[in-house]
C-alpha cells in the first residue's frame, strides 16, 4: 500500500530505501481526537514509543509533518550497532557510574531488541543479525579498535579483534590493518524497518497520521492540545520524537544539535561472482577515519557505500567521484560498476556525543541526539519513554538524566565545517 501523501519519500531523497521498502498507507489527520499519548515524529523513537505504549494499554496518536521514516530513519546506512559512538569508559566519565552503566547496558543490548521486534512483528526489512565490522585504517585505527575491544570485553560483550589476515577474509579487501567484529550487531533496510514498526503499532491500535505538522501547542487544564491545519489532538502526555529534523514547536531540539550530512550510493546488483568476493559473510562495515566511510550489501547484492557529505551543489560531484575512487581501491573488481541510487540525510551531533533526555513541560518529554547511532538507541529509548509514561519506570530509573536544552557554541560554523570540510577531504583523498 503506497501512502497517498509521501512528501519526499522518493528515490531523489531516500534512494534505494524508497525503491525497495514495502509501501505504507497513511493519511493526514482530519478532525479532533483524544489519546493518552500524542507522539510527534514517526521515526524509530516515536514509532517504538507508540508500539510499546499500546502494549501498556495506552491510546496513542502519532503525528508526522511528512511521512513515516521521512527523516534519518529513512536515509541512514542500516547498520544496527550496539552502544554509542563513544567508547564505554568515556560514557562512564561523562554520565557517572549510575547513569553510565545503565546506558551502556541498555544500548549494548539494543540490537537484540531491534531484531526481536522484527521477528515478533514479522517485519520484512532484510534483517541480517550476523554482526558488523569496524575496520582499522593504519596504526592509529588499530589502537582505537584495541581500546574498544578491551573495554567491551571487560563488560562481557561478544566482540572479537580480527587480524589483518582475518579482516581481508571478512571484507575482501587489503585496505585495513585489523577490524573489530561485534556479533551483537547487524544490518537492516532502515526505511522498511520504520514502516514495519508503524504497521505493527497500527495493528495494535495506534493511529498514525502523515502530512500533519503540529502548528500550535497549548495546555487545556491538565492536558495538551496539539493543533494542526485540519484538526487537533488532546492528550495527557506528549512525546517529542523529531530529533535532527525538528521544526515548529520545540524547535530547540534541532538547535541543540550540530547537523552532520551523510550520503549513500548504491550500485546495481552485483553478479554472483562479485558478491562472493566482497563481504562474503554479509556483515556491514565502516572504518576508523575521521571522515569515515561505510559499506555493506543488501539482499539483492547491491553494494551500498557511504561517507560524510551532502549531495547538493558542488558536493554531489565531489562525493560521487571520491566514492568511485574509493571503491576502485577497496574492491578493484568493481572498477566498471555504476551507481544506481544516491541519497543523503542529516545526523544530529550533540556537544559530548551523548543523547539528551528532556522534559520540556509537565508531561512533555523526549530523547534526541543520536550521533549516528539511531536504529538501536531510537528503538530502545522509545520503549523506555513508553514505560515511563505508563508509570512502569521512574524518571530517576532512566538511563539518561533530565537535562536542559543547550545550543552548542559555534553551531553554524561547525555545520559549515562538516559539509565543506568533507568536500575538501574527498576532493584530495588519494583513495
What mean pLDDT comes out for the span 88-116?
97
List CB contacts of 17: < 8 A, sequence separation 6 or more.
74, 75, 78, 189, 190, 191, 192, 343
CATH architecture assignment, domain 11-77+191-257+351-407: 3-Layer(bba) Sandwich (3.50)
> What average pLDDT does range 333-339 have in this prediction?
91
Q: Mean pLDDT over all residues of the chain?
A: 95
The helix/strand/coil state of 231 is strand
Q: Is the pLDDT of residue 293 over 50?
A: yes
Question: Mean pLDDT throughout 352-364?
Answer: 96
Mean pLDDT of 129-142: 97
User: Which secondary-structure segment (H or E) carries 325?
Assistant: helix 314-330
* Whole-number percent of the chain with pLDDT over 70: 97
Residue 125 scores a pLDDT above 60: yes
pLDDT of residue 240: 97
Chain-centre distance for alpha carbon 392: 26
Give the per-residue pLDDT at 3: 41
Are 255 and 404 in contact by the 8 Å Cβ rule? The answer is: no
Pairing of strands 186-187, 79-80: antiparallel
Label the pairing between strands 364-368 and 356-361.
antiparallel
pLDDT digits (tens, 9 = 90+) for 185-209: 999 999 999 999 999 999 999 999 9
Task: Give the model's confidence band at 11: pLDDT under 50 very low, under 70 low, under 90 confident, else very high.
Answer: low
Residue with cell 493543533: 227
Torsion from C-alpha of 329, 331, 333, 335, nearest 10 degrees: -50
For the residues 390-416, what does the mean pLDDT come to? 95
Domain-wise residue ranges, the chain: 11-77+191-257+351-407, 132-183
pLDDT (0 to 100) of residue 4: 38
Position 281 scores a pLDDT of 94
Report pLDDT for 13: 87
d(CA 79, CA 297): 11
d(CA 408, CA 349): 10
Nearest to 105 by CA among 420, 398, 414: 398
Helix (H, G, I), strand (E, B) or coil at 359: strand
Tens digit of pLDDT for each residue in 147-179?
999 999 999 999 999 999 999 999 999 999 999
Q: Which residues pair with 342 in a beta bridge?
A: 265
369 within 8 A of 257, measured Cβ to Cβ: yes
Amino acid at each position: 500500500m503506497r501512502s497517498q501523501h509521501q512528501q519526499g519519500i522518493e528515490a531523489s531523497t531516500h534512494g534505494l530505501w524508497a525503491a525497495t521498502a514495502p509501501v505504507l498507507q497513511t493519511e493526514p489527520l482530519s478532525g479532533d481526537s483524544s489519546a493518552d499519548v500524542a507522539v510527534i515524529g514517526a521515526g524509530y523513537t516515536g514509532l517504538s514509543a507508540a508500539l510499546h505504549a499500546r502494549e501498556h494499554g495506552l491510546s496513542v496518536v502519532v503525528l508526522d509533518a511528512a511521512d513515516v521514516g521521512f527523516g534519518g530513519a529513512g536515509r541512514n546506512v542500516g547498520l544496527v550497532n550496539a552502544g554509542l559512538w563513544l567508547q564505554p569508559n568515556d560514557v562512564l566519565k561523562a554520565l557517572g557510574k549510575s547513569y553510565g552503566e545503565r546506558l551502556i547496558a541498555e544500548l549494548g543490548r539494543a540490537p537484540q531488541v531491534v531484531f526481536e521486534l522484527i521477528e515478533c512483528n514479522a517485519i520484512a526489512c532484510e534483517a541480517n543479525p550476523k554482526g558488523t565490522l569496524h575496520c582499522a585504517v593504519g596504526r592509529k585505527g588499530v589502537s582505537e579498535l584495541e581500546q574498544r575491544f578491551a573495554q567491551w570485553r571487560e563488560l562481557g560483550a561478544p566482540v572479537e579483534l580480527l587480524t589483518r589476515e582475518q579482516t581481508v577474509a571478512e571484507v575482501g579487501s587489503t585496505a585495513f590493518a585489523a577490524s573489530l567484529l561485534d556479533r551483537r550487531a547487524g544490518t537492516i533496510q532502515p526505511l522498511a524497518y520504520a514502516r514495519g514498526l508503524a504497521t505493527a503499532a497500527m495493528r495494535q491500535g495506534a493511529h498514525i497520521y502523515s502530512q500533519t505538522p503540529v502548528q500550535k501547542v497549548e495546555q487545556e487544564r491538565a492536558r495538551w492540545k496539539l493543533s494542526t491545519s485540519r484538526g487537533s489532538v488532546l492528550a495527557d502526555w506528549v512525546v517529542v520524537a523529531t530529533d535532527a529534523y525538528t521544526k515548529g514547536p520545540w524547535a530547540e531540539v534541532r538547535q541543540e544539535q550540530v547537523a552532520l550530512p551523510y550520503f549513500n550510493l548504491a550500485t546495481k546488483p552485483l553478479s554472483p561472482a562479485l558478491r562472493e568476493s566482497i563481504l562474503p559473510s554479509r556483515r556491514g562495515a565502516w572504518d576508523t577515519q575521521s571522515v569515515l566511510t561505510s559499506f555493506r550489501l543488501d539482499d539483492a547484492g547491491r553494494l551500498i557505500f557511504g561517507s560524510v557529505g551532502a549531495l547538493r551543489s558542488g558536493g554531489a560531484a565531489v562525493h560521487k567521484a571520491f566514492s568511485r575512487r574509493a571503491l576502485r581501491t577497496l574492491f578493484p573488481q568493481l572498477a566498471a560498476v555504476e551507481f544506481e541510487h544516491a541519497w543523503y540525510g542529516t545526523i544530529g551531533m550533540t556537544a559530548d556525543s551523548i543523547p539528551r533526555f528532556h522534559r520540556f513541560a509537565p508531561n512533555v518529554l523526549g530523547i534526541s541526539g543520536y550521533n549516528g547511532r539511531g536504529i538501536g538507541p531510537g528503538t530502545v529509548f522509545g520503549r523506555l519513554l513508553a514505560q515511563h509514561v505508563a508509570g512502569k519506570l521512574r524518571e530517576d530509573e532512566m538511563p539518561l538524566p533530565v537535562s536542559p536544552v543547550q545550543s552548542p557554541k559555534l553551531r553554524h560554523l561547525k555545520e559549515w565545517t562538516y559539509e565543506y570540510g568533507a568536500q575538501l577531504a574527498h576532493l584530495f583523498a588519494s583513495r
